[in-house]
Amino acid sequence: MATWLSEDEQRAWRRLGAVTMLLPAALESQLQRDAGVTHFGYWVLAMLSESPGRSRRMSELAALANGSQSRLSHLVAKLEERGWVRREKVGDDGRGFSAVLTDAGYDMVVATAPSHVAEVRRLVFDALSPEQVRALDAICAAIMSRLAECDESTELPG
Amino acid sequence: MATWLSEDEQRAWRRLGAVTMLLPAALESQLQRDAGVTHFGYWVLAMLSESPGRSRRMSELAALANGSQSRLSHLVAKLEERGWVRREKVGDDGRGFSAVLTDAGYDMVVATAPSHVAEVRRLVFDALSPEQVRALDAICAAIMSRLAECDESTELPG
DNA sequence: GACGGTTAGTTGAATCGTCAAGGAACCTGG
DNA sequence: CCAGGTTCCTTGACGATTCAACTAACCGTC
């Protein structure tokens, strides 16, 4: 209990908590309604659509999308059922698989992107000044570097 | 596709996405490890511990914790099993229930708070300057007001 | 005082994510 | 060439969340 939060910090913390609970939920429900996908699912498809050959190594894709390998594996199984993604063996490494976006998957991303971007803009960027956008970027970068640190330390051998 | 995101916005959006995915996950795993509760579970208990009489109407508590009634109902059932919370009929409204924090629940919050606060401080506030903390508060407030707007509009009768 | 509409809260099925375990391919040293 | 360790990915079981009914109590009106 050595270092409690200051009043400013308390307030910021509650609000950040609310945003991290409600913003993903709001985007989730928009995507679910308009496209029948999860936020994570859409994010993965969008990443693939911007990747060279619309294709990525599974592990690479998991890292890009900030998810675990297991989560991605389950997700890709569903996306494959729906015909948006296909798995392909990687040539030079017998263990490796790539997720490849199908044409149907690409069409789906193209069809879904506008309304999703509009929602993001409406909920986030329309509410912020350009300075705030830059400040937000810097703040998130600072937090991410802390999160990355902690990953490293848990990966260290004792 | 009328209004795509600017370069600054793209960057900020990716980072915000990463933070909203990874920060809750990190806190989740700390709380799971050290106290065997969900982030949402802890948040609810913490709210109760600060409430008058360590007690809140279910619907009030759900709103405070930014969760649905159903989510809270399921959660309180679990917390009750563990003896941290108890349900009580509200006097003046036969439908209403209050969630009341038990002594064991209070002890649990007191025991868990320090390490959780330390983690929040380590991951968030130690990385930010006081100006950034205020900026973060303002940014989250702006986003929340957009989210609140959208709640209202969905509540309107057609 | 009973009828329709609304609000509080619960419940169960289905979905999503995590965790721990495991299979298969790779790599290194002898 | 093979034993031990590591990496890549999958799998299955379990817990958490959501969604869509559902019950029960309230409220206004006639």
CA of A94, C1' of D6: distance in angstroms = 15
Which chain B residues contact residue A125 at CB under 8 A?
A: 5, 9, 13
Question: For all residues of chain B together, what is the average pLDDT?
Answer: 90
Protein-strand D interface by C-beta, 7 A: A 25, 29, 32, 57-60, 69-70, 72-74, 76-77, 87, 90, 93, 95-98; B 38, 40-41, 67-68, 70-71, 74-75, 78, 93-95
Q: What is the pLDDT of residues B86-105, one digit of tens each?
A: 999 987 888 889 999 999 99
Q: What is the pLDDT of residues B119-153, one digit of tens each?
A: 999 999 999 999 999 999 999 999 999 988 765 55
Strand ordering across the sheet containing A85-89: A55-57, A97-101, A85-89
Q: Which of A149, A110, A17 is nearest to B43 (CA)?
A: A17
Residue A158 has pLDDT above 80, yes or no: no
Q: What is the pLDDT of residues A72-116, one digit of tens each?
A: 999 999 999 999 999 998 878 888 899 999 999 999 999 999 999
What confidence score (pLDDT) does residue B85 get? 97
Residue A157 has pLDDT above 50, yes or no: no
The answer to whether residues A124 and B143 touch, using CB atoms and an 8 Å cutoff, is yes
What confidence score (pLDDT) does residue A151 get? 60
The answer to whether residues B32 and A144 touch, using CB atoms and an 8 Å cutoff, is no
Q: What is the pLDDT of residues A37-65, one digit of tens each?
A: 999 999 999 999 999 999 999 999 999 99
Backbone φ/ψ region at B83: left (φ over 0), alpha (ψ -120 to 50), beta: left
Q: Do B43 and A127 touch (CB under 8 A)?
A: no
What confidence score (pLDDT) does residue A149 get? 75
CA of A44, C1' of C28: distance in angstroms = 35
Percent of chain B residues topping a pLDDT of 70:
92
| Per-residue tokens: B121 | 């401080």
The least confident of A118-122, A147-151, B49-53, B79-83 is: A147-151
Rg (CA), chain A: 19
Q: Which residue has the tokens 């609310």?
A: A18
Whole-model pTM: value is 0.89
Q: How confident is the model at residue B3 (pLDDT cuts 50, 70, 90)?
A: low
Q: What is the mean pLDDT of residues B35-50?
A: 95
Q: Do B8 and A133 touch (CB under 8 A)?
A: yes
Q: Which residue has the tokens 């990443």?
A: A47
DSSP codes, A73-132: HHHHHHHHHTTSEEEEE-SS-TT-EEEEE-HHHHHHHHHHHHHHHHHHHHHTGGGS-HHH
**Which nucleotide's C1' sits nearest to the alpha carbon of A90?**
D8
The 3-state DSSP class for residue B35 equals helix
Q: Residue B40: closest CA among chain A residues belongs to which residue?
A: A21
Taking the stretch 10-49 of protein chain B, residues with Cβ within 7 Å of any atom in nucleic acid chain C are 25, 29, 32
Torsion of CA A113, A116, A117, A119, to 10 degrees: 160
Number of inter-chain CB pairs under 8 A, A vs B: 164
Determine the residue among A38, A45, A139 to mutate to test chain B binding: the one whose Cβ has the most chain B Cβ atoms within 10 Å: A139
What confidence score (pLDDT) does residue B90 get? 85
Question: For all residues of chain A together, what is the average pLDDT?
Answer: 90
